[in-house]
Amino acid sequence: MDFHGPKHRLADVNHIANLPPAAEMYRALCDRDAAYDGVFFAAIRTTGVFCRPTCTARKPREENVEYYPSARDALLAGYRPCMRCRPLEPNGALPVWLRPLLGEIERDPARRWKDADLRAMRLDPGRVRRWFQANHGMTFHAYQRARRLGLALGRIQHGDDLTRTAYDHGFESLSGFRDAFARTFDRPPGKSRAVDRIQVTRLLTPLGPMVAGANDEGVCLLEFADRRMLETQLDRLTKHFGSEAVPGEHEHIAQLDDELRRYFAGELSEFTVRVVYPGTEFQVACWEYLRTIPYGETRSYAEEARAIGNRKAQRAVGRANGDNRLAIVIPCHRVVGNDGQLTGYGGGLWRKRFLLDLEEQNRKG
């Protein structure tokens, strides 16, 4: 029997939210296309639940699906959230079953965890491995090894003894520590005392998880975790700074996390966290111009090109904006086509629209 409840008319919702065509959304739902996460929510008439596009539940018939631009709209239409894909939770949020393990790792990041330790916490090692592979691009054991090596690098840079550092960070032999260190940092530990580190961690936002990186100069990376350019951007940063990227926390990232939370809550319109954005002279000129665009306003590529003194450089401006490594903080989302249409955003046009709508609404009060 069909679910009955107070629903919006689908045509009205699609018109208001400018959702993609229904056929396109149904294809995304069937393909579990992560690119549409945040673009729409699918409500199933026969069950009365609404889901993310990536939900792993059995796919319904096309005529039984309605689409909504937000979880709030689906709730107001009388649907309840799916218990499988949990559409009310921030995309990328830590699952409840994993939180105790992450807490233990942060309490003692130098500890070496084994599968037996996971089982003692009633965790399936395979499930833990799959989550880390999907969310960090590495297995759990690779993640914790990188975490321990990052801490060890910090100790070495402060002049600590290599042998003591190795054993304090869960390595059973100095030779094993040297081999693991050289594989990770491409140099032996004895030659790493002057090497800088870029601490990298994931931050949760209403637009999905983002990857943040910082060194002592400032935040140098803020990118959406699903962006294809992420690995390239991080590689460019490590080469520029002559540093290594390791999992970890940093005071600049902590400040960034707080400012992002206030930005999305409508409480902050200008970021004050220290940032560093190395690039060519032309790139830096483009990025510095972006930082002058007022909150809640937009500029065209032509206006940006004129502002940096090269009217004919619109395409080059677009490429430079696309190379921006500090999404949101350096607001390349505030640049639109010369006709006012949304174009060219590495995080996806739906995110660009979200950011512009957020700023416009908050500016108007």
- Number of Cα atoms under 13 Å in the Cβ half of residue 93: 12
Q: Which residues pair with 210 in a beta bridge?
A: 203, 224
**Count of helix runs (H) and strand runs (E) in the chain:** 15, 10
CA separation (Å) from 284 to 214, 266, 280?
18, 28, 6
| Residue bearing tokens 């008319």 | 9
* Burial degree of 18 (CB within 10 A; 0-12, 13-18, 19+): exposed
| Residue bearing tokens 């959304």 | 25
Residue 190 backbone zone (phi > 0: left; psi -120 to 50: alpha; other: beta): alpha
Residue 208: phi, psi to the nearest 5?
100, 175
d(CA 160, CA 165): 7
Of the listed 85, 220, 286, 332, which one is catalytic?
332
* Burial degree of 103 (CB within 10 A; 0-12, 13-18, 19+): exposed
- Number of Cα atoms under 13 Å in the Cβ half of residue 207: 26
Tell me whether residue 332 is one of the annotated catalytic residues: yes
d(CA 364, CA 38): 24
Minimal CA–CA distance to 245: which of 257, 255, 259, 233? 233
User: Among all residues, which ones are annotated catalytic?
Assistant: 332
